[in-house]
Amino acid sequence: MENKNFTTPSGKIVVFKELTGGDFLDANASNTDADVTKQELSRRLINAAVVSVDGVTTDIPNALRALPLPDYVAVSAEVAKLIKGDFSEAKTSA
């Protein structure tokens, strides 16, 4: 599977990996009988899809939290495209 680069509105480079069925199943897994909320599932899938944020490859959740809101929203929209199986439509830039 190929990684894709995405440039956020503020110019940061976010690298995504193509999500697998296993990634989705892992993100949707719950330790209780309750279903995972949509918000939690979205957060988990973003964390699973993002390989790096502006070159940072460690502590991705905090790197994402540090993004300006317009950047985070743009990253979320790109992950939504991955989930819909439309990886080719996700914006790419070198």
pTM beyond 0.95, yes or no: no
SS3 for the chain is CCCEEEECCCCCEEEECCCCHHHHHHHHCCCCCCCCCHHHHHHHHHHHHEEEECCECCCHHHHHHCCCHHHHHHHHHHHHHHHCCCHHHCCCCC
* Model confidence pLDDT, tens digit, residues 41-72: 888 889 999 999 999 999 999 999 999 999 99
Q: Rounded to an integer, what distance in angstroms lies between the CA atom of residue 88 and that of residue 85?
A: 8
pLDDT tier at 20, thresholds 50, 70, 90: confident
pLDDT tier at 33, thresholds 50, 70, 90: low
Residue 6, burial from CB neighbour count under 10 angstroms (0-12, 13-18, 19+): buried
* Model confidence pLDDT, tens digit, residues 71-89: 999 999 988 887 775 444 4
Higher pLDDT: 81 or 13? It is 13
Per-domain boundaries in the chain: 4-89
